[in-house]
Structure 1
Amino acid sequence: MSSERIPLAPGTRLLHVGPYKTGTTALQGAFHRARTELAAHGVLYAWKGRQAKEPAVAVTGADPPAAPWQELCEEVAGAGDGRVMISSEFFSNADARAARTVVEGLTGGDVHVVVTLRPLLKILPSHWQQDVKHGRCDSYEDWLAGLLRLSPDQECPTPEFWHRHRHDVLLERWADAVGRDNLTVVVVDDAEPDRLFRTFEGLLDLPEGLLVPEDDGVNRSLTLSQAELLLQLNRRLAESPWKSYPRRTMVREEVVPHMQAYRPRPGEPRITTPAWAEEAAAAVAEEMVARMAKLGVRIIGDLAALTPPPAGTAETAAPEFIPTAAAVEAVLGGIAAGSAATRARQARLASAIEDASIHKVATKDLLRVVGRRGFRRLRRTFDS
């Protein structure tokens, strides 16, 4: 276990691969908002968005990798002997081949991989609710049963889960690609969330306090009642006639963000893991930690924190009501989704009318279409 501040060498390409639900969103937000300050200290936060999602998807999903990966490699190479930070949990989807491709592509300095870890018991409810945000219709208990009680003839409900969250295997995969001396594990402490920022400041030789978390509700967890509301909505949208609606536009891009704007009251019920699943997950976690301790990689934090004892949580029934304020936010999201769908439909209709032959345009639209086409021609004449 190591907690001292030992910066990585200048020119290091620091690659944070997640995995999901280990403080990635908070960390990426802090780096994204501090780009100018980072540059002043010789650190490049690579890629143009909050995280390097597009390059990570490009390199883990195709062989050879798609264009965004090459763009990222060129940006990193252009940093010269400055330190570079690259972060995306989508890198945790890499298989052994893709991991080697990633390490080989980040030229200009030594590559050092960082893996952030939280207890499996805390990742499970976070992962399920994220799946619900994307349309999952399985209850939490059914989803857990598919992950933790699999028989040989059962199909895992989320096949990628164990690829990302069998953490001992994840570490082995990246250690084989980058070398054990170039891999650091950071154990995330939910009781001291700022420690994650201080750790990365130390790795990159940044002043303490430079990284500041955002407070805008990005990726905020759902309460138990919100998750149940969204689950029931998913199930209805999977039925006729609703399944023909653009669910991503209606729910993921409008309803969910509005729901996350709601700030729960103290003591409002959260998603809880049933006792049988806690025990099963704890057994897996103990096995993973035992293997990770023998890998010989640098560990910042206490691996024992990854194996908290099961709390023996009582079974939680689905809530029968949702707070009014939370319901209002969900309804507002639905209204926004309906407005967005209407605008998109009107735009498609207008485009079809504008492109149609004059003799096919309805009389009521004829004057408007002729006027717009005449205006476009006149503007082109002046522009030329």
Structure 2
Amino acid sequence: MPSQWRQYGRNGLRLDHEPWLEHMLRRPPYGRPAPGFRRRHDRLVGRWAGATGPGRVTVVVDDRDRDAPMRTFEALPVLPHGLPRPVPETANRSLTLAETEMPRNLDKEFRGNGLPEELYSKPVRHGAIAHMRNACGPTPRDVRIRTPRWTPEAAAGIGAEAAARTGSTGVRILGDPASPSRTPASGGPADAPRLAPEAAARALFGTLTTAAATSGAGKGRTVHRTSSKELVKVLGHRCPERLRLR
């Protein structure tokens, strides 16, 4: 559940963690703010089974470690052992609570002030968040996202329903199909978020480098964002030059 909230937050969700959990787990028909959340995985399996036939689809259920899905994929057999290489620990790691809250609150400010979406998307999503996640790792002092005590049981119920629907498709299942329905331990109440100075610096650096690459060193402004005085200067230089060429 924290992972899903992070993903939705990166794509513009502005709800706090606990209100989002309330909507997803306690407020049927669960159509907002994330339609399809409760049926995403088993619907994906159903689409593949419908397109290729269930005998051609294999579902891997394995949460032992990050390398387990790759090793299982090799053993099907599809690839020689050891061909997929594990990525560095920081690559695609989970964001801490503060690292999630920073861009989410920044998105609120952007939308609240009516700024254009493209101004936020590339510099923040593909710049700040990506650079912060991949260039530095959390420390023991950084607070991770925790779920309230009532959440695990409700989430396990969703997992059990998804596992049952996946099993009914007739696809091949490797691993323990009951694992999504087990109730994990609750994290309890979360501490106050703390954003490490290094992570903040990495996020700002990622924003600046992405903005510079996108703008082409100053070519990114549109006409409606340029002052009249600057436009007159540009026209003053260009018009005589055009006339001379003609």
Q: TM-score range by the shorter chain?
A: 0.7 to 0.9
SS at match of 1:185: strand
* Alignment CA distance shift 1:251-1:296 (3 Å): same
Distance change (3 Å), C-alpha of 1:313 and 1:228: same
Deviations 1:32-66 (A, max 9, x none): xxxxxxxxxxxxxxxxxxxxxxxxxxxxxxxxxxx
Is the alpha carbon distance of 1:172 and 1:334 closer, same or farther for their aligned partners in structure 2, counting shifts above 3 Å? closer
Kindly report the root-mean-square deviation, in angstroms, between the aligned alpha carbons of the 2 structures. 3.1
**Aligned equivalents of 1:349, 1:185: Cα separation in 2:** 48
Of 135-144 and 331-340, the range deviating more from structure 2: 331-340
Cα distance in 1 between the residues matched to 2:67 and 2:138: 22
Highest relative contact order (Cα 8 Å, sep 6+), 1 or 2?
2
**Secondary structure in structure 2 of the residue aligned to 1:255:** helix
Aligned to 1:197: 70
Q: Which residue of 1 aligns with 2:55?
A: 181
Tell me the equivalent position of 1:330: 203
Q: Which moved more, 1:281-290 or 1:129-138?
A: 281-290
Pick from 82, 88, 110 the counterpart of residue 237 of structure 1: 110
TM-score w.r.t. the length of structure 1 is: 0.53
What is the distance in 2 between the residues matched to 1:308 and 1:347? 50
1:145 aligns with 2:25: no
Structure 1 contact 185–299 (Cα < 8 Å) conserved? yes
Q: Which amino acid aligns with 2:86?
A: P
SS in 1 for 2:59: strand
Q: Sort the Cα spacing of 1:349 and 1:324 in 2 relative to 1 into closer, same or farther, 3 A.
A: closer
Q: Deviations along 1:299-333, whole A, 9 cap, x unmatched?
A: 111123223323132122552x3111111112223
Which consecutive residues of structure 1, in runs of 5 or more, have no partner in the other structure?
1-123, 351-359, 375-384
Answering whether residue 188 of structure 2 is matched by residue 314 of structure 1, we say yes
**1:279 aligned residue:** 153
**One-letter amino acid matched to 2:52:** V
Map 1:207-222 to 2 at 5 A.
Answer: 207-215=80-88, 217-222=90-95
TM-score (normalizing by structure 2): 0.79
Q: Distance in 2 between matches of 1:160 and 1:132?
A: 16
Percent sequence identity is 37
Name the aligned partner's letter for residue 282 of structure 1. A
In structure 2, what is the Cα distance between the partners aligned to 1:211 and 1:128? 29
CA contact (8 A) 2:9 2:104 kept: yes
Note if 1:304 corresponds to 2:178: yes
CA drift at 1:231? 1.5
Which residue of structure 1 lines up, in the alignment, with residue 142 of structure 2? Answer: 268
- Give the secondary-structure state (helix, strand or coil) at the position aligned to 2:212: helix
Aligned to 1:254: 127
Q: Deviations over 1:95-125 (max 9, x none)?
A: xxxxxxxxxxxxxxxxxxxxxxxxxxxxx22
